[in-house]
Amino acid sequence: MSRVYSLASPLTYQTLLERLERYGKESGALRFYRTPNPESRYRVLAKDNIGVAPWPTSAGSHALIDLHVPDAAVVKRLRSHGCDVFGKTHLTELAGFVTVNALQMGYSQLGGQGRNPHGDFPTSGSSVGSAVAVAVGLCDAALGTETRGSLMCPALRNGIWAYKPTLGRYSRDGIIPLSRHFDTPGWMARDIDTIVELDRLTQWCDPNDSACVAYANTDVVLKTAPIRRLGILLNPALTQDQALRFNRWVESACRLGFETLFVPCPTTDFDYHYLVGEAFLQDMSAFLAHHAAAGQPHSATELIERYRNNPLSRPYGMERLENALCQPHLLPEELDARANDARQLARDTIASICSNYDVEALVTPTYLDWWAIGGAPSVAVPIDFLSTGEPTGVMIGTREHDDERLLELAQSLASIARR
């Protein structure tokens, strides 16, 4: 039995059970799970920063090991539509907010080091357990979250599909936050059709989430015709092998009838680390004040103090946590204004390229944070393996609110995705 489950193979209930028995623990992807319901519509796993009763929600942190959060709004939606959320996946600790050390990607004190099932390759991102679980065939789909790359990067590294929606399309209620300005849940799966169906089940205007309210109240006029013109973002940093696979995929898209145009990729700086550091102090404190029980940290400052007092919890350092405390602080309304400026810069970057080159979607062979910062939708598409056996893929994004056409585009490109 292969550790990686082919994207082209159907995942029957019996096969799922067999793979859970064989790889449930060995994969290193799962924090908690039970036997899934055979009658359920979809059998789903959720990242361990998403509330799923009856299990605790720790974000991989020993300091939050006993934190109990009720079902997140997205979990309630799924269960109301007959889906079985039957377990939780490991993640990069605190969604990657402990340290800047690249060695810690995929690591948490509670889950250890995440492992790419394709070989000795990086796992990337913070939704690593969800990505590995999908790649190994331990679920029909998995919920992850993205602040900046935590869905797209592990999907590209682990050779699966992923979708990050426009900010506000899905509720964040019941999810441990990093930043109210950029956080969103999203989907990982072995095929795009599953993601499209789960997207329909997950959408909801949650009155408890300001981003959902803003999303619902945004008056936009969207095109309905299918996307046919793709802007291919130039990336001189690709290896020869990466460039070969990427160019083959672009040629295949042309044979499907898509028009492609190579466009420049400008450098942008959104001051992300500063903005998220401030949001972490504000948003994590509000979340813990609401959900923490006696003896648990009730603020971001108390959480950081737990890390200071427990050297075993920070083998790679805790620079991001310390920097958040030390940097100049902003009032909530000041932070909102700064984050909105960054969001608008990202949206303007996307819109200007699309307008100047008359394209409707942008394609990149490596991760770009424009869509995360801009709150716009993106998908990760698996396309091939490098000569080393490492998966490679493309990321495709559109302007904000153009989710339906992006998902339709992804479906139309599925025939040239890796299977």
Catalytic residues, by residue number, are: 47, 126, 150
81 token code pair: 């539509």
List CB contacts of 250: < 8 A, sequence separation 6 or more. 232, 260, 363
Tokens for 327, please give them.
Answer: 């940097």
End-to-end CA distance of the chain: 18
CB-based contact 385:174 (threshold 8 Å): no
Q: Cα separation of 177 and 284, whole Å?
A: 6
233, β-bridge pairs: 263
Place of tokens 């889950």: 111
Q: Which two tokens stand for residue 305?
A: 């103090």
Q: Encoding tokens for residue 109?
A: 């004190």
DSSP assignment, residue 364? E
**Cα Rg of the chain, angstroms:** 20
Is the peptide bond prior to 54 cis by the omega test (within 30 degrees of 0)?
yes
| Closest among 122, 125, 189, 168 to 410, alpha carbons compared | 189
DSSP symbol at 27: T
Dihedral of CA 107/102/97/307: which sign? positive
Neighbours of 237 (CB within 10 A): 8
Contact 48, 58 (CB under 8 A): yes
SS3 288: helix
* Nearest-angstrom CA–CA distance, 122 and 388: 13
Q: Which residues of 1-25 are buried (b: 16+ CB within 10 A; e: fewer)?
A: eebbbebeeebeeeebeebbeebbe
Task: Specify the DSSP class assigned to residue 236.
Answer: T
Taking alpha carbons only, the member of 50, 71, 65, 158 closest to residue 108 is 65
